[in-house]
Each structure stands twice: as structure tokens, then as C-alpha cells.
Amino acid sequence: MAHEKSFSAAYAAAGVDITAGYEGVRLMKAHVARTIIPGVVSDIGGFGGLFMPNLQGMEEPILVSGTDGVGTKQRIAQLLGRYDTVGIDCVAMCVNDIICCGAKPIFFLDYIAIGKNEPEKVAALVSGVAEGCVQAGCGLIGGETAEHPGTMESDDFDLAGFSVGIVEKKKILDHGSQQPGDVLLALPSSGIHSNGFSLVRKVFDVENADLGAPVETLGGKSLGDVLLTPTKIYVRPVLALMEKVQVKGISHITGGGFFENIPRSLKKGLSAKIRKADVRIPPVFDLIQKIGEISERDMFNTFNMGVGMSIVVSRQDAEAALQILRENGEDAYILGELIESEEGVILW
């Protein structure tokens, strides 16, 4: 290989081992290979990732991009020494945003900043990214690993990425067709997903907690397992829904919870009226609220509260939409309805 003679003793003395980077690339190749889909042109290791989209039948293709990171959830992975799941979160945070426009994700690139490049750790992180890409049906066509000695502790890392999707211009989701009486559907989350972890870490004092001990109120699961549960990727069920039903708006419920995210998918002058008793809240949120003595408003304005994504459809399409989502693995349910109001979200 071209880099077999590449080695810098001076750079290694400064804390950067470029040969570890080469080993990391070798170890991750099998994971990346799982993500190869039609359109992937390049292998990893080049200066850019190449992708040839299939534009057949498209009149005005529009590219849609999204970028995000894992946030401080990665500290849980660090404390547990488990690095193969947060990559799923990284992909999910990007592709779930993209489908809110009606676009299909086509490729993804990641960026890993790390205090000391340990090839096995990097490969584990990329294995999660690859799994996320498989779930989203997009190709992992490149990325970057940067060793940061002196600015990060040796066991620290940060994981971020971005994705690009494509949609026919006339199929971009338009909120203009929404009207009072339309129904808001909920797609359940797998848990906390990847938002609010600065508060979560404070509430549970994770630096000193026994993350491996089973917790009765969490169904006997350990706190670490529950906190590290990957963000659910909604691409396939939502794309299947949009093929058969008119979708009038989608919100990815991330940081800011209900109050920030649901209004982003609503037509001006309309609000989502949601009965709190209808929200299927997982036990972990009750535990966070109880231990942290957090107000109900702050809970719904910080976390997804068990709703990873909300979708607006007409009332007459609601049952068909629920059936399609359930056929595609989502236990979706009716969360609320749209009413004339400027409040954004009304919880009652």
C-alpha cells in the first residue's frame, strides 16, 4: 500500500501516530463494506467520497443535507468502555432530520476527534456508524479521524457527521396544506436518544454512579444500558408512509423537546393540541423527573418523552397511516390534533 513507508518520528514524539490511523482504516473497512449501495463510486481512503445518484425519473432533484453529533452522550460510552453504539446515534441525528423534508438519505460521512488514536476504538465507533447507515439505507463513503494530543485527554473522543439526501422538488413536504382537525401521529422513541445528556449526567451523577447495576424501575435493566440505547432511525418506515399517504409535516423531536420541535413542522396559525395522558412516556423519563426534581414543562421542553418523531396527516388518512407504519415496524399512535392557535404546542 502507498502508506507503508509513511512514518514520522517527530510527529509521533508530539503525540500523533499516523500508523495507528492506517491500522484504524484497515480495521474499519469490513464495517464500511456493509454500507455499499448503488451509487457508491469510491472506497474509503481517498481525498473525497464519490457518489453517483440515480436521477432517472426525477424532474427537479433537490439535495438535502444535515449535520449533527452525539453530544455528551458519548461520555456514557466512554465510562462504560462501549463504543459500538454511539455511531448509530450520530447517523440517526442527521438522517432523521433529512427525512423531515421528505428526502431519502443517500450517503454519510463521519468525523472522529480523539485524544489518542487507538485503532480498535476507532473501528468500534465506525462500526456503529456503519450500522446506522445500513438502517438508514445510505452509503458510508468517507470520514476523518483526527488525533488531538494536548487538547484532549488520551481517552476522550468526539463523534460528528453529516448526511446528504435527495428529493423531487414537488415532493418536498409542504405545511401549507395543513388545516384544523388534522391528526398528529407519534413514532415512539427508543429512549432518551441523543439529547439532554448534560442534564441526564447531572441528575444521575454518572461520574460516580454504578452504571452496570440493574434498576427495578427500569425493568431490571442497568442504567448504563438504558442511557446508551441508540437513537431510533425512522427513515424506512417514513419513506414507506410517504409513498402511500399525503404527509403534511414531520418533526424530529430532539433538543428542545415538544415545545421547540413540533411547531417547526406546523403551518403558521396552527398548534398541536396534545393530551398528556396520551403520551406513552418510558420509565426512564419518570426516573429523571423524580430524581432531578424537574418540572413537567422542563421535561417536555428538554426530552422527547417517548416520541422520537411526530407526523401530520389528514384525519381521513390517519388509520391508513398508522397501519402502514405498523407494517414497517413502528408502533405508531395518535398523539393529538391541530387546532387554530398561535401557541405552538398545547399540553392539557
Residue-level pLDDT, tens digit, the chain, 348 residues: 445 565 666 666 666 666 666 676 777 788 888 989 999 997 766 788 899 999 999 999 999 999 999 999 999 999 999 999 999 999 999 999 999 999 999 999 999 999 999 989 999 999 999 999 999 999 999 999 999 999 999 999 999 999 999 999 999 998 999 999 999 999 999 999 999 999 999 999 999 999 999 999 999 999 999 999 999 999 999 999 999 999 999 999 999 999 999 999 999 999 999 999 999 999 999 999 999 999 999 999 999 999 999 999 999 999 999 999 999 999 999 999 999 999 999 999
Owner of C-alpha cell 405498523: 326
Q: With 0-12 CB in 10 A as exposed, 13-18 as middle and 19+ as buried, what is 250?
A: buried
Whole-number pLDDT of residue 314: 98
Owner of C-alpha cell 430524581: 291
On the CB side of 57, CA atoms within 13 Å amount to 3
List of residues 6+ apart from 164 with CB closer than 8 A: 51, 63, 64, 65, 98, 105, 106, 107, 108
Q: With 0-12 CB in 10 A as exposed, 13-18 as middle and 19+ as buried, what is 202?
A: exposed
Q: Rounded distance, CA 126 to CA 28, Å?
A: 6
Whole-number pLDDT of residue 345: 97
- DSSP at 175: G
Whole-number pLDDT of residue 1: 46
List of residues 6+ apart from 323 with CB closer than 8 A: none
Whole-number pLDDT of residue 15: 66
List of residues 6+ apart from 67 with CB closer than 8 A: 94, 160, 161, 162, 163
Which of 61, 54, 22 has its CA nearest to residue 38? Answer: 54
**Amino acid in the structure at residue 283:** P
**Amino acid in the structure at residue 160:** A
